A and B are shown apart, each in its own frame.
Chain A
Amino acid sequence: MLQINHISFGYNKKAGDLFSDFSLNLEAGNVYGLLGKNGAGKSTLIYLMTGLLTPREGESLLDGVNVRHRLPQTMSEIFLLPEEFELPQLTLKRYVSINAPFYPRYSADDMQRYLDIFDMGGMMDVQLHSLSMGQKKKVLMAFALATNTRVLIMDEPTNGLDIPSKSQFRKLVTTGMSDDKLMLISTHQVRDISDILDHVVIIDQNRVLLNTGMADVTSRIAFRPLREGDQPIFVLQSPFGPLGAVRAQDGEETKVDLEMLFNATLQNPAAINQLFTTSK
């Protein structure tokens, strides 16, 4: 659905290219987690995907249409929730009445449902600029899902959210997701989102290091205390003995430790990828 084909991009000549000949293909029906270190280019990639930045070479396509043209048919199908943003001095009701018409499948019922999930059901008349950053984030998130765009991209959505809101955020995503939608969540807060992902994409230094389904991770890699004879791909020393990532054997299936997967992939991408390319 969203295709990034051979893009090259850098902010200036001196700093060099952040991406060169970079490609990535994202399909509907999936919640993607986009992971990468600080400066790996996650936000830049998001802007390139949504037509906010234009690559020097290559193209980003939504259903075959280049997003850089920012055609109404494209923009009405993409919602980007940035990490930081300002909201105008309006009531939420007014904000919605101005912005909702750009999105043909916007649903007021969904909006109410999503505000309710955040315990903000009575907030339609509130002044947006009087809200805290966390509240602004929740309001915009509810609106983002209620627009029912086919593509929803969220940059660090759980940053600034309090403890109960993180669980509410997961409920929002699992409630709002459907087979014709594509969601992409860029984040460092892997513990917040691990259970809601279909697919994980790890990028570093303009390369896709790993791009795989969570179910595939479960069946191929076990995350657990190490035993004698294990040949771990990654080892983490703990006070209770070494933990690690090992090739899953004899049908063992552990919960995916996204943090360990991320660290293992950055440390040894070749070994991780080998697990996914060889047969089980």
Chain B
Amino acid sequence: MNFKDNKAIYLQIADRIGDQILAGTLTPDGKVPSVRELAAEIEVNANTVARTYDHLQQQGIIYTKRGLGYFVSPDARETIVARRREQLMQGEMDYFLGQLKAVGITPEELQQLYSDYLNK
């Protein structure tokens, strides 16, 4: 697995698991790979993956059943969408809008672009 430099690895792994939940690869109440399985698969230290799972559990995205491992929370999808929306609005959206302004894209053009994108 390739990691970006700007974010702690355990958080990048959390994002990937979030992606899989949103894509439906991991389903509500479905089992998440064990810490060791995932560590071996993505070639990352097991304690780093354990940290990812702690983090996801704190956010209510996964839950643990004693002795059975980790599972996807029933409302994981909503939690992830809400969090990502918040993150987008706080950070990337500002940068994105700045770029639009810099190259002179009008609100009407943006609306058209976004409508076209949704209809693709």
Contact = CB atoms under 8 A, between A and B. Distances in A.
Contact of A167 (B3, B7, B43): B43
A187 to B, nearest CB: 15
Nearest to B39: A174
A218 interface: yes
A25 to B, nearest CB: 18
A215 B9 CA distance: 10
Given A171-B40, A174-B39, A174-B40, A195 B46 contact: no
Nearest to B4: A255
Interface string A162-203: 000001001100110100000000000000000111100000
Given A195-B9, A254-B8, A255-B9, A174 B3 contact: no
Contacts, number: 57
Given A174-B39, A253-B11, A255-B9, A195 B44 contact: yes
A118 interface: no
A255 B40 contact: no
B5 to A, nearest CB: 5
B90 interface: no
B51 A196 contact: no
Contacts of B46: 174, 177
B112 interface: no
B8 A218 contact: yes
B87 interface: no
Given A170-B43, A174-B44, A215-B51, A195 B3 contact: yes
B40 A196 contact: no
B6 interface: yes
Nearest to A219: B8
A49 interface: no
A255 B11 CA distance: 9
Smallest CB-CB A-B distances: 5 pairs: A170-B43, A253-B8, A175-B40, A174-B40, A174-B39
